Amino acid sequence: MSNEHLGLAKKFKVNPSSCGGDGNLYEQKLVLTAQSQQYGDGSVIHVLLESDSNGEPQRIVGYISFVANGIDVPSGGDKIDSLPAIEIKTMAVDRDFERQGIGTLLLDYSIHVAIALRQNFIGVDFIITCAAESSVGFYSKYKKQPFVKLDDFFGNADMDDAPENDLDIPNNIPMILTLPK
């Protein structure tokens, strides 16, 4: 994302009924990142562009942003294991392109990024996200490898003893996907 994308970022609109909260947040993040090339959450944004026949970008169809993270889980006694993960910090699809498989394409891309990192740069075993309640169904439906709620993945009892992860955001649901081997 850079300043050249600012005009496109300003056109990006999320369907208010799909985000279960403040759609402006998704739009603002894009605009602020285009303006300053950074946003306070440390993530990097990847945009999917629609181009005209000359290859000129016309619209931002959707975007996804990533940050390195880990999930802290108890592993017996006082020991804590931190499982290596990348976190989808934010993803959103423009309201004109919803329900056309773009969100799925962005999740495909997240797997591609995680596997490329693992093969070439750094250990990654999981993709995690703090899903807005309204998007839990979307993540659960992902056909390649559905995301599951973190509590279900580890069992509630385990996670009751777990330290606070930074995915613990009120009204949002931490979810996890295990990368294919």
Ligand X SMILES: CC(C)(COP(=O)(O)OP(=O)(O)OC[C@H]1O[C@@H](n2cnc3c(N)ncnc32)[C@H](O)[C@@H]1OP(=O)(O)O)[C@@H](O)C(=O)NCCC(=O)NCCS
The residues of the shown chain that bind ligand X, judged by CB under 6 A, are 14, 18-19, 26, 90-93, 98-104, 131-132, 134-135, 137-138, 141
Of 147 and 154, nearer to ligand X (C-beta) is 147
Q: Which is nearer to ligand X, 14 or 30 (CB)?
A: 14
In single-letter form, the type of residue at position 44 comes to V
CB of 100 to ligand X, least distance (A): 5
Q: To which residue do tokens 């005009």 refer?
A: 7
Q: In whole angstroms, what is the distance from residue 166 CA to residue 44 CA?
A: 18
CB burial class (10 A; 0-12, 13-18, 19+) of residue 127? Answer: buried
Nearer to ligand X, 68 or 122 (CB): 68
Q: How far is the CB of 105 from ligand X (least distance, A)?
A: 7
Q: How far is the CB of 95 from ligand X (least distance, A)?
A: 8
